[in-house]
Structure formats: structure tokens, C-alpha cells
Chain A
């Protein structure tokens, strides 16, 4: 029998309230679910991320660790109590002005913490601020712009730059005011509709097993439980997958990883659904787990899938690597390893599905591609695509982690089968065990050099762990294949990429998409080759780099927009300048700097239709609307589209409205992946806007009998020279009267060719982004601790449509790269995941990140909008090898496996740790 709720009184955002609540309700749930104050977020539920930060009697507190009953009598301030979009607080305004919010999910908690910091320590330095704010994690920004916002807010006044909306300006983000005030509604924040069902997933607690039976009787008998979904309930296809449908929507008969979804319990309340989930009995017969790709490919290994455990095998050959290797003066061989990395989007997986009453369904959820999601959902439901509408909700980051559908299909299934809206919100632990990770990889590199240091030949063998299913494995393998040599012109190359099925979770897309792993290896290898050749890292690279006229490993000639040399020169020069200003290292520490240079293919590549599509329309209310199926998830797409449209049409941002990510209302513009959307969809927006402007002005020239070249649109209306001919509303009316269409659609297709299956030759991608990073590290020789003290990141972005947002991408990507290099590692014990929340899976916090110094190199790409390419992924890719090279420079020891942990550094530095031999250390 449920206990009677207790009555508590609290002052919330200045308003006294008496509330009856179950005694064990968390303050977080009370605020969000009972009072509708959804500005406060849940990221981890265990005190690690700070997304739930509120003020309780003036003190910062994690609302996820506090029972409401324990706050009886307290005064509570949430982000909503600090300001509104109409009247933001100084801190909120400073976050907007400094582009300090990207996906925005960490932002409300961050705003509360910064507000308190400035109250208590108004004079805090940047480093002090880092310490004070260390209870708040952000996965997007790399913290730099947040610290800028702290400094800006301290000054007391903040104004937004007016009129700085065009291309090339750091216009403030169009979604920022809602994000900093907690107004933005992510999927878990949506109001609960009448009749809502809550879904809780029953997951495998075995690594590898045959599923014999799912007994649902006891669960169904529990109060509040309405239905239990199992694979038998799936009306359509039981399996799905990005590359190939090898993954069950719910396990059919074969459990392939710990945490795999077996059933979903739907109930009237979350508590009832949880209780029901605990009562579902899963009967299994264990199978031997396969826990490494080596074991998976060994003779006699248990098969995970009928066609064997080799999921992907790609090969590339250019020239004759074996013969060239035999001719080489120096041959070097090394092996590198990288771990599984989790995206840690601060917003865990969530979906809300609404039945349309006629057998169809609308799903609202975070997404990277509403059309893919719709495809997967419709297939499982056995519905035609037009019966499923997928609407992207503001998305708490993605990074590749939302290229696979999870809760979407389950919620949709629940809604269709019960006729009731269904909501599924995953916990951080579920997200950690059941979503894709970056493929762990072992990479064997061999190169032959001429006596002067030119690379004559490379042989590369990669073995990666794709886990239980393919997800995007073939495409990721291809990206590895194309980028494996690094940004070098090598005439003789032989590359072999294999990816094997195992029972270690699932691997999939993650910012960098396979290039992250091989470019880590290639750029560490480049430094090792430089040493072998007796050259400096810079000289070695200069000798071998790609440049206009040179050729990639796939035989593609670089014909334009190649800022590689400039990136390297500027990054190295800036890093040298900064190092010369730094005081000498403290005793017991050594310092070093490391360089990496990378190239990165933008877009899908491999002739996969890579099409951007956009509609631009003049609306009756005198606004221009841009519609595009791409999605915003923090990178700033809404703002980029606004700026491009504003630039082309000549009006201010107030006259542009952007709609994205709705499968029913926006044209399919492909996935928001591969750093492609600014380039591909941005160009489609530019073309559509250009076409609309030209054609409407041509009509206006005729109608008003004016010279075409005198006519422009302005925020005030249609203008001829200095005169306003009519308002935009009036112009729309006239167009309609005269039968002139006010809407144009345009498409843009990126060009790449299909790689030859045997040789891997072809124009793999276009364009390529280039980058050079220099990392500076300080290594404590006693603890082995590596601190990154400087990051200079030079990126050839073609053209920065919004420099502040590009800088935000750079700092944020760098933070993920730093985590990958130094501590992130999703670990398993015989297939059982060990790192299930942020207490054990560590991501970089404020104190881990130096201020990244971004350098924007603008080598215009003729086919991109205003010359723009992409930047989202290259940043993450470039940093890890720079850090590893810096550690090598500082310590004289080469670490070929990530993450580089203090334990490993220490062991390498002193032979046997823990014995008194360390007594000889000085300092």
C-alpha cells in the first residue's frame, strides 16, 4: 500500500508553495515532473554531471541527490528563477553573447553554478573559476566559452551585438536565449499528454546467451502494468541496422551483449513500469562469450551471426607496397591501440510517441536524421513511411551517438499497440551499456623510407571490434581505409581493414568515424618515422604532406582548398610563441610539445548520394522561412542557416525563421553527420535563397518598372536604392495576387566516386578539411600524471560562417580528444561493462581543459557556401596524436596505446613502480 504523501512547504523561485509528495521523491523529479520546471536537467542521476544543479537555501546542490522531503522548508532557485528569454540575467546574457551554450543540456545547471560563483567569488581568476565550477560537466563546449562568459558577466553589462548577422560574423545563436533560461524543451521535458504510458526496458544481464523464453505473466499482474512488449509483438521487420539489418529491435532468440533490450514494460507510472520490469522473467541458456576480435576470428570461435564473425573486410592497394618496401633504406614497424569511447551526450536516450488514432504514429525524440529514424520505425511497425512522422526535439548533443535508433522504435511500438502516448527515458546507465561506442582498434603500421626521409611504402593492418552488431561498421571501415596513411602522398600503399563481431556491446559512429583511430596511429607513426629518418616532425611532414597536385592513398588528386601547410606553420609558430612566455616547469615535472596534422573527408563519400535540400519561402507575415531536414544538435546549424539566408536575402535575423528536422514538413537533407551539413545543406540553403531572391526581384523590377540592379530586400521591406517600395507583407500579398510563387527549393549534391572494391581506389570524398594541432603537456615524473597545458588548433575550414561557433566546435572537439587520449575507456570484464556511469567513465571537466587557442585558416572551397567546408569532426581527430607526441617529447617514452594513464607513464618512467628505486629521483 503506498504511503500517504507528506506535505512539504518550499519557496520555489520566490513563490511559497505547499506540496504533497511521496516521501521518497527526488527534488529533481518534483521540480520537473510535478511542477513543470523542466529547465533543471538529469544527465547522470548520481551527482557527477551537475546538469541538475539548483540553489537550495543559497547553496549549490545536485537535485538528483536530494529527496524533496529533505528540502522541506527550504528556498529553492532554479534556472527559471534567474531570468527569462525576455529579461535574461547578466549571466544568462553573457552565455548568449559568448556562445557558451551549444546543445544546451548542461547550460541551465551551468548558469546556476556561474551565478553562484560570481556572487561568492566575484574576482575569481579563470583557474579559480575552473575549480569552483568543477561539479558541472559539459560535453560540447570544452569550457572555453563558458569561462569567457564568466569574465563577460563579471563586467556587469552585457549587450548583444546588433546587426552582426551576416556570413563571417559571430552572430549569437538563434536558440541561445531559450537554452540559457531553461525554456528549451528537450524530449524528456515535453508535457505529459493525457493517458501517457511510461516504458521501462528489460535488459540482458548476460553477455552471450540463447533466449529461451520471456515470461511476462507476473509483470502483467502487477498494478499499473498495461502491456509488456517482446519481439513477438513486432508487426514488421524484427531486425534493423544502418548498414545491414542484423540487430533485433527486441531480442528474438540470441542475446549478443550485456544490456541488450529484451522487453519493454509499459505502465501507468514510471514506478509501476520499473517494478514491472523487475518482475519479467528471462529464461536463457548461456553461450561462451567472445570478448576480443582476435578470439572472434580464431578457428572454432562461437559464431555471433550466421555468416561468421568477420563483419567487414576492406582492402586498398596503390602501387606495389611490397616491392617498394624491399627497396627502402629504413623500415619501421609499430602497433597502436585505441579503446572504446562513449559519446556521453549529456541528454540520455529518450523518445515520446503519439498515436495518430488511425494506426500511424508521431515520434518526438532527439535525432541525427529524422528520415533514417522514420525508416527504421516504419519498417519495424510494418507501416508505410507516410504513416510515421518523426520530429526532432532539441537534442542534447549527438556526436554520432544518435545515428542509431533505440528508444524511438520501442516507444512507437508501444503507442501503436496500445493506442496511448508512450514515453521512454533511458538512464545514464542504460545509455552507457546499450548505445554504440567508438570501435576499439589494433593498428599495425609498417613503412619504408628513402634515405632522405620520403615515405616510399606503407603497409597497414587494422583489426577493430564492432561488438554485437554492424551499425555503420562497413562505412566506418571505409573511412579508416581512406585515411589510414595520414595526410601523406605515398605511392605504394597496402591497407587491410577487418572488423569482427564480439560480445562487447556495440560499436558505431562517433565523431571522426574511424578516422580518429587510424589518424591517431598515423600521426604518432609520423613522429616515429621522423625520428628514424633523422628529421624534425615538421620537416618530415613537409616532405611528405599532401598538397595541391599530390595524390591520396585512394589515388585522388588534391585539386584545391588545401590549407595543410598553412595550418602546420601557423600552429607551430603560435605554440612556440606561447611556450616562450611560459615560466619554467615546476620541480618534478617535464614538458613537451607534440604536433599532429590531419586531413578529413567531409560528407558521406564513396558515391553515396550526398544531397542537401532546402526550401526558402516568403511567408504572408513578411518573414523568410528556411526549411531543411538537417538537424541542429548543438553545432549551430539553425544559426548557420539563418546567417546564410540573411546574407543572401539582405534582411536581418529577425526576418528569418528556420525549421529543421521534421520528416513531414522539411525536405530530406541527409544525416547531420560527417561534418557535412554546413557544406551540403548550407549550400542548398544558399542556392534556394539566391533563387528566391533573384526571381522575386525580377518580378518586382517588372511590376514597379525599376532597374533590377537597384532592387534589394531589407528588413524594412522591398527597396529601390534608398526608397522602400513596400513592406515584405505587402510584397507577399502582391506576389500572391499576381500568381508569383513565393517558395523555392534547391538541392546540392557533393561529389565523390565509388571506391573500387579490390583496390580501394577512387575519389573517396570531396572536399577535405585539414588541420594541425600542437599540444603542450606537463608530466609529473613522480605520479605519471599528464596535464595538457596548451592546445593550439589550426583548422582549414574553407570559410568560417560564424567564427565563434567554429571556435566552439574546436574547443569542444578538443575536449573529447583530450578525454580519448588521457582517460576515457569504456571497459569490460569478459563482456560485462564496468564503466556504467560518469563516476567510473570519466569525461574531461573544467580543470582538465586548458584554454584552446583556435586558429582559423580560410582556404575557400569553391563548391561550398561562401567557401565553407566542415569542422565538427577534424578537431577531435587531430588532438589525441598531438598529445601522445607531446608526452613522448616530454618523457622520451612512446605510448602507443590510449588512454595514456598515469599508471602507464609512471611504469615507463621508473621501470618497476613502488620500489625504493625511485629514491634517485631529483627535484
Chain B
């Protein structure tokens, strides 16, 4: 039977401590809500299946900061994509994340959509995911009873929209290790319209440029598998090579073995395979251009 909307409870804690206490008490009965750009869409699609309560995280100032620590940049879970897009710290250290942030929806969405929501929602089309995968980020989770734990981004997802987040935990921040000097990172996406569009495929690449060769290559794709994925075998092939579009074609066979896209409303598997190579080509071309500039 439908749950009357009027019966829904709504919590607006002012501190993280308060929020964690509510989370511990309500467990899965209260759904955390940051910007609400996903939650509000689900609520509309299936008003009967929504939770009994919402736990708003929007008011928690302590989760909104982007801070430089000794060896990492810490990004609060409720930092919005608009905040990320404007952040000088990120522009300097993780330009790929700035690019991804600018690709999330339009201004209205970027002003509300948070990086934590993007990650917990866990859509394989979440734009920030490939970048967090290549950084690689550490996901910081906290609960009232068990305190804080750090989960490597690569271990955060356990399946399609499945995460290790427990029902008494909140995602509080991401720690992105400061990249060594000479690191280049970039993000690319193919969508169904030129702006304001969910991705058909997207990719992030991070690598250190030593002379004109790539080292410590990290490559991740979204929308080509049930979760965002790293491509270890393709990364290994790129290691030590000099970036070029041709290089993308050279590794495309392996790349295509590592991804498993499907047909859906937004695109076809065949097209996604093709576009995946195209994205790598663009990334490597941009990387080569950056390297050329650095050398000059």
C-alpha cells in the first residue's frame, strides 16, 4: 500500500555527531539525503517505495570542505560539483575532477549535486567515479558505534549499485593522494546531447609524464560495466609508452576485452565499445599536447 507522503519524517541535523546518532537509531529507515538530486527523482518515480524518513546532510558544514592535507586533498562528501569546478586546489592537483564536475548536468544540478551522493548512488554513469578510481581515492566512512574506516575506492563497490556502506554509516569524505610532480589527468565523456546529459561512456586517465613516456598509468571507465572499472591490462600496455592517438588504437583490442558494455535506452553496447576507444584517443592526444607544452 502507498505510504502517505504526509507520514514521512524529515531530519535536519546541524552536526555530524547528531547525524550519526540519527543514522544509528534509524538505520535503513532513514535515507541520507545530500543535494537530493537523485533522491528526489526516485521519490517521484516511486512514491510508494520511498523510505519512512529522510536524513538531510545538506546543513553539515563540516562535510562541505575541500582541504589540503600533508599527503592528500580531502574532499567533504557534501561538496557540490559547482564547488569542485571552482576549486583552485583541485584545478592544480586533479584537473580531471574539475572537468568531470563541469560535465555533471547543468548549473542548477551542479549547485546541488554532491560528490558523496554521486558515489553512494553508484550509477555506473556517475561522472566523478572514473576520476576517483584513477586518483585513486580513499573513501572515508564513519559510524557512531564503530568510528571511522577507510576503504580504497576500488573496493567500495561490490556490484551494480551495491556498496560496502553499512546502514549506520555515512560517507564523510574522500582522500585523494597528492599526485607526484609531472602528473597529468584528464576526463572525457560522450553523452546524448551536447550539454546537460547523462553519459553514454566516460573515461579518466591519470599518469606521470617522464620525458615523453607514461608512468604509473591509471585508466578507468564508466558505463561500460555494472560498476566503474579500472583497466589494469590496458594500463600495463600503456606503461612506458609515449602518448599518442595511435597508441589508443594499438591497445584497443585489450581495452575491448576489459570492458563489458550493454545495450540500454541511452546507447548500444557496440557503440560504447567504439566510443571507449575514441575517448582514450582524445585523452592521449590531450596528454601528448600537455607534454609538448611542458617540454617547450
B109 nearest in chain A by CB position: A47
Q: A1-B7, A787-B194, A906-B271 known; A69 and B12 CB under 8 Å?
A: yes
Shortest distance in angstroms between A597's beta carbon and chain B's nearest beta carbon?
A: 29
Shortest distance in angstroms between A167's beta carbon and chain B's nearest beta carbon?
A: 39
Shortest distance in angstroms between B260's beta carbon and chain A's nearest beta carbon?
A: 12
Shortest distance in angstroms between A592's beta carbon and chain B's nearest beta carbon?
A: 19
Cα–Cα distance between A492 and B6 once the two chains are bound (Å): 68
Cα–Cα distance between A784 and B195 once the two chains are bound (Å): 17
A223 nearest in chain B by CB position: B4
Q: Are A66 and B112 in contact (CB under 8 A)?
A: yes
Q: Are B193 and A914 in contact (CB under 8 A)?
A: no
Cα–Cα distance between A69 and B192 once the two chains are bound (Å): 34
Interface residues of A in 824-867 (CB under 8 A from B): 827, 834-835, 839-840, 842, 844-848
Q: Which chain B residues lie closer than 8 Å to A274 at the CB level? A: 2, 5, 47
Q: Are A271 and B281 in contact (CB under 8 A)?
A: no
Q: Are A847 and B193 in contact (CB under 8 A)?
A: yes
Of the residues B10, B108, B194, B267, contact of A62 by C-beta under 8 Å: B108
Per-residue contact bits, chain A 567-611, to B (CB 8 Å; 1 contact, 0 not) = 000000000000000000000000000000000000000000000
Residue B232 at the chain A interface, CB threshold 8 Å: no
Of the residues B12, B37, B274, B275, contact of A65 by C-beta under 8 Å: B37
Cα–Cα distance between A48 and B198 once the two chains are bound (Å): 11
Q: Output the residue of B33, B56, B107 with the most chain A CB within 10 A.
A: B107
Cα–Cα distance between A50 and B109 once the two chains are bound (Å): 10
Q: Which chain A residues lie closer than 8 Å to B193 at the CB level? A: 823, 842, 844-845, 847-848
Q: Which chain B residues lie closer than 8 Å to A116 at the CB level? A: 107
Shortest distance in angstroms between B293's beta carbon and chain A's nearest beta carbon?
A: 18
Q: A70-B36, A70-B56, A113-B107 known; A783 and B249 CB under 8 Å?
A: no
Q: Are A67 and B6 in contact (CB under 8 A)?
A: no
Residue A204 at the chain B interface, CB threshold 8 Å: no
Instruction: Name the interface size band of chain B.
Output: 35 or more
Shortest distance in angstroms between A471's beta carbon and chain B's nearest beta carbon?
A: 27
Of the residues B5, B44, B108, B196, contact of A61 by C-beta under 8 Å: B108
Q: Are B58 and A783 in contact (CB under 8 A)?
A: no
Cα–Cα distance between A902 and B267 once the two chains are bound (Å): 9
Residue A135 at the chain B interface, CB threshold 8 Å: yes
Residue A3 at the chain B interface, CB threshold 8 Å: yes
Residue A450 at the chain B interface, CB threshold 8 Å: no
Q: Give the number of residues in A that approach B within 8 Å (Cβ atoms).
A: 69
Q: Are B107 and A132 in contact (CB under 8 A)?
A: yes
Q: Are A845 and B2 in contact (CB under 8 A)?
A: no
Per-residue contact bits, chain A 114-133, to B (CB 8 Å; 1 contact, 0 not) = 00100000000000001111
Interface residues of A in 477-521 (CB under 8 A from B): none
Of the residues B7, B12, B48, B111, contact of A3 by C-beta under 8 Å: B7
Interface residues of A in 677-714 (CB under 8 A from B): none
Shortest distance in angstroms between B105's beta carbon and chain A's nearest beta carbon?
A: 7
Residue A278 at the chain B interface, CB threshold 8 Å: yes
Cα–Cα distance between A133 and B196 once the two chains are bound (Å): 10
Of the residues B107, B190, B249, contact of A918 by C-beta under 8 Å: B249
Residue A220 at the chain B interface, CB threshold 8 Å: no
Residue A913 at the chain B interface, CB threshold 8 Å: yes
Cα–Cα distance between A95 and B104 once the two chains are bound (Å): 28
Residue B278 at the chain A interface, CB threshold 8 Å: yes
Shortest distance in angstroms between B246's beta carbon and chain A's nearest beta carbon?
A: 8
Q: Are A65 and B36 in contact (CB under 8 A)?
A: yes
Q: Which chain A residues lie closer than 8 Å to B47 at the CB level? A: 274
Q: Which chain A residues lie closer than 8 Å to B190 at the CB level? A: 783, 785, 902
Residue A333 at the chain B interface, CB threshold 8 Å: no
18 contacts between A and B (CB under 8 A): A3-B10, A22-B5, A23-B54, A47-B41, A61-B112, A65-B37, A67-B36, A70-B56, A113-B108, A136-B106, A784-B271, A839-B198, A842-B197, A907-B270, A914-B273, A916-B252, A919-B246, A919-B250
Q: What would 6 more interface pairs be, CB under 8 Å, given A26-B40, A56-B111?
A: A2-B6, A3-B9, A47-B40, A53-B108, A70-B59, A130-B195
Per CB-CB distance, the 7 closest pairs between chain A and chain B, nearest first, are A135-B106, A914-B273, A23-B10, A919-B249, A134-B195, A278-B2, A847-B194
